[in-house]
Amino acid sequence: MAHPSNNRSSNSVHIRNGRIICARQKLDEISDLLIIDGRIAAMGPAGKLAVSNEDIPALDVSGKVVLPGFVDMQVNVGEPGEEHKETLATASAAAAAGGITTIVTTPDTDPVIDDPALVDFMLRRARDTAIVKVHPSAALTKGQAGKEMTEFGLLKEAGAVAFSSGHRALENAVILRRALTYARDFDSLIIHHAEDPNLAADGVMNEGENASRLGLPGIPHEAELIMIDRDIRMAALTQSRCHIAQLSTAAGVAAIRTAKAAGIPVTAGVSINHLSLNEIDIGGYRTFFKLSPPLRLEDDRQALIDGVADGTIDVVVSNHDPQNVEAKRHPFAEAESGAIGLETLFSAAMRLVHDERLSLLDLVRAVSDTPARLLGLPAGSLEVGTDADIAIADLNEPWIASEDQFRSRSKNTAFEDARFSGRIVQTFVSGQSVFSLDQA
């Protein structure tokens, strides 16, 4: 793990009168939080916390909420190889502005992160340039070619927190089986992109009436469902942890729900995009809404939200995927897929909270508590003794997302000009302020 290195300011602070929400401790109360030397030292009723050291600066956050910093399990950074799209520095600045204090990078860079030396490179670059914590996930197969598994043991020792198939599914069930079996020995998490590549073929959006009207090749729901069913069977066979990176369909949610009820060690994520948008948003070929997996129907979106609320879906990710203008300024079918999302994750999720589709506690569980636990990271909670990775939010702050505010080097947002209520106002990593809206 790479910690931010700059020690310019003190990393002790007394956060006062905040509404503290922590899913792991099932906490939602007005309290004071004392941070000393980068760690949460104490928590107590507002105004009653004994602060021995008068020098510790106080920060009054009356009316605001104090959340455990978010752990984003799926962040695409352009580094190494595509630094013109994003670097660890710009991605981490964007993350900090979104309340995300830990990012897990995807391995589909150039070169692919499939060697311990490359994990080491990522950690060194992150240590030198990033302002939030960075944990690389490593490739599941060498060169992401889908043929030979990578060195899970050595990569984990080097610092890889999970093994991901990236943007491609592992077509061959035997290779997935062996990878899951081998990963079990190291208690490693395998993250799989569940989309049958043959069924998806050259599809660029959800298959159905809309794709037909637009004249675009579609991807059927079954491309996801068949892969999820297979992965569930493989997780059951190997008794090894398999995480479906992103669900996009109602049937996929139902399949995971059934599998979990049967005790199969499978977990799932969903991107904030799929919780917020549906295929109608593509409108007249808007390439910023071209995503993988594709945006589906409104019924799917509703089922995905239900899945997060009832815990079937374990984590919500940004699936931050920076693409430069050139890559997006193409006819829809030829444009790159992906959208940035670090800076809008919380605000977009707050729409679901304001609509009473999701409780704040459910949201915090899905963006902080569970991802940290799945990855085995000491993060995602406000427990005393842990690193003070904290996001402070104003739940009702209105703002309009506009391209020029984004810290991300690429501007391909699916929320251009979106009106939000709720925003991150300050972010701490190990007790150090890495973002403050006042100073932005």
Partner 1 sequence: MHFWRLRDQKFVLKRLLLMSTLKTPPFFPHRHLLGIEGLSPQDIAALLDFAEEEIDVSRQVEKKKSVLRGRTQINLFFEASTRTQSSFELAGKRLGADVMNMSVSSSSVKKGETLVDTAMTLNAMNPDILVMRHHSAGAAALLAQQVDCSVINAGDGAHEHPTQALLDALTIRRHKGSLARLTVAICGDVLHSRVARSNILLLNAMDARVRVVAPSTLLPAGIERMGVEVFRDMKEGLQGADVVMMLRLQRERMAGAFVPSVREYFRYHGLDAEKLACARPDALVMHPGPMNRGVEIDPAIADGPNSVIREQVEMGVAVRMAVLEALSQHLPNRGGRG
Using CB under 8 A as the binding rule, whether residue 265 contacts partner 1 is answered as no
Residue 374 host element (H or E): helix 370-375
CB-CB neighbours of 299 under 10 Å: 11
- CB burial string 109-139: b at 16+ within 10 A, e below: beebbbbbebbebbbebbeebbbbbbbbbbb
Work out whether 185 is an interface residue with partner 1 (CB under 8 A).
yes
* Range in contact with partner 1 (rule: CB under 8 A) among 178-186, 259-267, 284-292, 374-382: 178-186
Stretch that binds partner 1, among 175-183, 363-371, 373-381, 423-431 (CB under 8 A): 175-183
> Dihedral of the CA atoms 117, 119, 120, 124 (nearest 10)?
140
List the one residue from 37, 60, 120, 148 that touches partner 1 (CB under 8 A): 148
Q: Which of residues 213-252 bind partner 1 (CB under 8 A)?
A: 238
Other C-beta atoms closer than 10 Å to the C-beta of 332 total: 19
- The distance of closest approach from Cβ of residue 124 to partner 1 in the complex, given in angstroms and rounded to an integer, is 21
Q: Which is nearer to partner 1, 236 or 418 (CB)?
A: 236
- Site residue total, partner 1 (CB under 8 A): 16
Are 103 and 91 within 8 A, CB to CB? Answer: yes
The single-letter code of the amino acid at 385 is G
Q: For 172-280, where are the alpha helices, taking DSSP H only? A: 173-185, 197-200, 209-214, 221-238, 250-261, 272-276
Residue whose CB is less far from partner 1, 141 or 426: 141
Compute the distance between CA of residue 251 and CA of residue 228 in angstroms, rounded to an integer.
10
CA R_g for the chain = 21
Least distance from partner 1 to the Cβ atom of residue 105, Å: 21
**Binding region for partner 1 (CB under 8 A) out of 144-152, 307-315, 405-413, 424-432:** 144-152
The residue within the footprint of partner 1, chosen from 43, 118, 149, 223 (CB under 8 A), is 149
Phi, psi of 61 (to 5 degrees): -120, 35
Nearer to partner 1, 168 or 184 (CB): 184
Select from 3, 167, 184, 230 the one that contacts partner 1 (CB under 8 A).
184
Closest distance to partner 1 from the beta carbon of 158 (Å): 12
Q: Report the site for partner 1 in 83-142 (rule: CB under 8 A).
A: 141-142
Q: Candidates 30, 56, 153, 254: give the one binding partner 1 (CB under 8 A).
A: 153
Report how far apart, in Å, the C-alpha atoms of 133 and of each of 38, 73, 76, 100, 383 are: 13, 12, 15, 9, 18
Return the H-helix or E-strand segment holding 242: strand 242-244
Choose the binding region for partner 1 from 47-55, 80-88, 152-160, 286-294 (rule: CB under 8 A): 152-160
What is the contact surface with partner 1 in residues (CB under 8 A)?
A: 141-142, 147-154, 178, 181-182, 184-185, 238
